[in-house]
């Protein structure tokens, strides 16, 4: 099956000690509404492990019905004076209390990347997740993902890392990719990190091949929110709400 979805990827800076509240606001309070009004699915919500990246930070990924579905969503949202749906004024106001800003990108999936419904049906979950943002030579983003498919997946699987997301970034110079790996235990995370500096043949070969196109990369470690689909195996719903009323 070919994945024809489009994804919104958000890096969110959280205010103070509000990360848990923000993740709940996005999963329990936003996602059920977005599913009903925009057919937008929650792919995942995670906290960045601060020792590996910016903190306090949350990563959100939303799954849309292609660019046509996203265009309809944008048309619904960008109608208010502040380019925000006025019907969501209370929701936006509460979100603003919890976050100070962020940076979003739109992602195109590799055709062989599973959707969140497929991943949930397959029971995919982990103790933690590796989020790899990779810069590549302009125009080589799709070539890089094919290298990942042919070489990185098998090299990482030796350490039980499973690739669940492989995307290129839209609206840029075809020079950025994002990989998301599920890691079953913290010991398996350490196993690969140790092996990258040892004589692991698969990882050495992968690094050599990817060096031809990669200009930079940053791996951070994520932990999923309590209501994230990778943890629950389902989409958040209105029964999950504990602190919000429409």
pLDDT tens across 171-218, in order? Answer: 999 999 999 999 999 999 999 999 988 878 999 999 999 999 999 999
End-to-end CA distance of the chain: 37
The whole-model pTM stands at: 0.94
246: which 2 tokens? 């429409």
pLDDT tens across 143-161, in order? Answer: 999 999 999 999 999 999 9
CA distance 85 to 147: 41
Phi-psi region of 123 (alpha: psi -120 to 50; beta: other; left: phi over 0): left
Residues 165, 129 contacting (CB under 8 angstroms): no
CA distance 230 to 227: 8
pLDDT tens across 73-131, in order? Answer: 888 877 766 556 666 777 778 888 999 999 999 999 999 999 999 999 999 999 999 99
Q: What structural domains does the chain harbor?
A: 6-112 (3.30.70.100), 116-224 (3.30.70.100)
At residue 244, the pLDDT reads 55
């Amino acid at each position: 099956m070919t994945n024809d979805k489009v994804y919104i990827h958000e890096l969110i800076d959280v205010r103070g000690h509000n990360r848990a509240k923000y993740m709940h606001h996005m999963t329990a309070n936003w996602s059920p509404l977005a599913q009903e009004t925009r057919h937008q699915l929650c792919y995942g919500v995670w906290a960045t492990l601060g020792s590996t990246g910016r903190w306090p930070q949350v990563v959100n990924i939303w799954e849309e019905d292609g660019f046509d579905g996203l265009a309809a969503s944008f048309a619904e949202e960008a109608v208010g004076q502040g380019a925000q749906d006025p019907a969501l004024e209370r929701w936006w106001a509460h979100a603003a209390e919890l976050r100070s800003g962020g940076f979003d990108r739109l992602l195109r999936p590799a055709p062989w990347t599973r959707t969140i419904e497929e991943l949930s049906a397959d029971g995919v979950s982990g103790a933690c997740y590796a989020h790899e943002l990779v810069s590549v030579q302009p125009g080589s983003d799709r070539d890089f993902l094919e290298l990942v498919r042919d070489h990185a997946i098998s090299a990482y699987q030796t350490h039980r890392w499973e690739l669940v997301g492989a995307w290129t970034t839209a609206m840029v110079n075809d020079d950025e990719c994002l990989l998301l790996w599920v890691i079953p235990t913290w010991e398996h995370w350490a196993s690969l990190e140790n092996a990258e500096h040892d004589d692991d043949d698969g990882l050495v070969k992968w690094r050599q091949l990817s060096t031809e196109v990669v200009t930079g990369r940053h791996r951070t470690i994520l932990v999923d929110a309590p209501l994230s689909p990778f943890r629950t195996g389902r989409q958040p719903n209105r029964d999950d709400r504990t602190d919000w009323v429409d």
